[in-house]
């Protein structure tokens, strides 16, 4: 009699038969069913108690995840209609399989912190970073006078390197440095004025955002370092260790090296520096303080750091390099001369004494 239809659905005329090992196919010419219609049809079939998918060898028709969850729930509860309806609703809300996001349930977004609550924290972090940078890396200084023209103009802002001194670096000839007033070179220190604005200036200067009203700093060029002998006579150039310095690249045009204040020869003590301004006729530098403590020199411990860059205004951005005239200055020999002479005299004496010992030893061996 041919093939026998298995698991025909009750009350659904016109639907194709499903045979063992086959999958149901929609009849030709029939409009395709939507997912909602298919879901409704399966629910009705489950309520009637006839499920072609449960037949031996039949393949289950794939359906929405929520519907499959609903059918399983109906069988487990023993009530296909009620269980299917309840589980289908749960499937839509929970998303069916475990871990799938639900379509009906809204996730609560984490509350965002207000900008005004974060602003004090940002300001505190910025102040701490500014203090660390000012203390250990670089610090900005304003030029208040004309003593370093034309290298630096009044109102320029320079960045001073404060990192390398922490690693034992010392100033070298030709460098532009900032240093603390070594001995009242600038006269009496002005009072900050007290009050609200004085307190604010003290606080801002502490973190490096304003110049301090109490600390008096100067900026000059290093001419000679410890052990050097420096001299300048009227009408002549500055000489360092006997070498005349060509200062035409940085001395203010029209100025003489030292005609307004000749000096020397002066031997610079170890650990101290001789400094002068590039605008010689407008600079109260080492030449004018030879009668004071240090004989006009400054201590390396008073040095804040080396000025490396002109940072403001933008049209004057430049790197403060060391002039070529200072690159081939002969080394100072005054401090090393006694040691060198002592070593030169000791070598012959040691050799003569050694020969005497060898001869005495040879004579003793011959007499045995």
146-172 pLDDT tens trace: 999 999 999 999 999 988 877 888 999
Say if 89 falls within a structural domain.
Answer: yes
**Nearest residue to 95 (alpha-carbon basis) of 61, 65, 63:** 65
Number of domains the chain contains: 2
Say if 16 falls within a structural domain.
Answer: no
Same domain for 222 and 326, yes or no, is yes
Q: Is residue 290's pLDDT more than 60?
A: yes
Q: What's the rounded Cα separation, in Å, for the pair 323 and 318?
A: 14
Burial (0-12, 13-18, 19+ Cβ within 10 Å), 70: buried
Confidence (pLDDT) at 38: 55
Q: Which domain holds residue 291?
A: 118-336
pLDDT digits (tens, 9 = 90+) for 316-331: 999 999 999 888 888 7
Q: Of residues 147, 162, 283, 286, which has the active-site annotation?
A: 147
Do residues 165 and 305 make contact, with C-beta atoms less than 8 angstroms apart? yes
Q: Is residue 41's pLDDT more than 80?
A: no
Say if 106 falls within a structural domain.
Answer: no
The 3-state DSSP composition of the chain as helix, strand, coil percent (nearest 5) reads 35, 15, 50
Same domain for 186 and 296, yes or no, is yes
DSSP 3-state of 44: helix
* Residue range 266-278: mean pLDDT, rounded: 96
Say if 5 falls within a structural domain.
Answer: no
Say if 198 falls within a structural domain.
Answer: yes
Is 220 an active-site residue?
yes
Q: Of residues 162, 220, 283, 286, which has the active-site annotation?
A: 220
**Nearest residue to 45 (alpha-carbon basis) of 77, 18, 71, 16:** 71
**Beta strands in 31-150, from DSSP E residues, in sequence order:** 138-142
Same domain for 264 and 122, yes or no, is yes
Same domain for 126 and 271, yes or no, is yes
Q: What's the rounded Cα separation, in Å, for the pair 323 and 319?
A: 12
Same domain for 215 and 278, yes or no, is yes
**Nearest residue to 220 (alpha-carbon basis) of 186, 260, 263, 169:** 186
Mean pLDDT for all residues in the chain: 73
Confidence (pLDDT) at 195: 67
Give CA torsion, residues 220, 224, 229, 232, to 10 deg. Answer: -40
pLDDT digits (tens, 9 = 90+) for 100-146: 455 556 666 666 667 788 888 888 888 788 777 777 788 888 898 99
Same domain for 211 and 281, yes or no, is yes
Confidence (pLDDT) at 23: 42
Q: Is the model's pTM score more than 0.85? A: no
* Residue range 43-47: mean pLDDT, rounded: 48
Say if 242 falls within a structural domain.
Answer: yes
**Nearest residue to 74 (alpha-carbon basis) of 83, 85, 86:** 83
Do residues 297 and 269 make contact, with C-beta atoms less than 8 angstroms apart? yes
């Amino acid at each position: 009699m041919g093939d026998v239809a298995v698991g025909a659905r009750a009350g659904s005329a016109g639907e194709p038969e499903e045979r063992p090992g086959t999958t149901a196919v929609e009849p030709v010419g029939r409009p395709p069913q939507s997912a909602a219609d298919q879901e409704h049809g399966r629910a009705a079939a489950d309520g009637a108690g006839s499920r072609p998918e449960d037949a031996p060898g039949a393949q289950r028709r794939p359906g929405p995840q929520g519907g499959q969850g609903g059918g399983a729930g109906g069988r487990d509860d023993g009530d296909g209609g009620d269980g299917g309806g309840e589980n289908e609703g749960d499937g839509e809300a929970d998303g069916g399989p475990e871990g799938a996001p639900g379509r009906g349930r809204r996730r609560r977004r984490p509350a965002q912190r207000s900008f005004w609550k974060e602003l004090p924290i940002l300001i505190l972090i910025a102040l701490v970073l500014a203090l660390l940078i000012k203390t250990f890396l670089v610090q900005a200084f304003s030029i208040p006078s004309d003593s370093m023209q034309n290298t630096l103009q009044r109102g320029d802002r320079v960045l001073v390197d404060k990192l390398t001194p922490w690693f034992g670096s010392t100033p070298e000839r030709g460098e532009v440095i900032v240093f603390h007033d070594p001995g009242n070179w600038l006269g009496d220190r002005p009072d900050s004025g007290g009050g609200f604005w004085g307190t604010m200036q003290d606080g801002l200067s502490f973190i490096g955002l304003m110049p301090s009203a109490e600390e008096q700093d100067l900026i000059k060029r290093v001419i000679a370092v410890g052990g050097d002998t420096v001299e300048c006579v009227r009408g002549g150039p500055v000489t360092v260790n006997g070498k005349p310095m060509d200062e035409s690249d940085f001395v203010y045009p029209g100025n003489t090296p030292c005609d307004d204040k000749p000096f020397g020869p002066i031997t610079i003590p170890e650990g101290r520096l001789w400094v002068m301004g590039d605008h010689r006729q407008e600079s109260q530098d080492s030449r004018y303080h030879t009668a004071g403590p240090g004989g006009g020199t400054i201590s390396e411990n008073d040095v804040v750091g080396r000025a490396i860059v002109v940072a403001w205004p933008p049209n004057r951005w430049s790197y403060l390099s060391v002039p070529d005239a200072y690159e081939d200055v002969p080394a100072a020999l005054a401090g090393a001369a006694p040691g060198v002479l002592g070593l030169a005299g000791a070598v012959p004496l040691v050799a003569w004494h050694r020969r005497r010992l060898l001869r005495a030893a040879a004579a003793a061996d011959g007499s045995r």
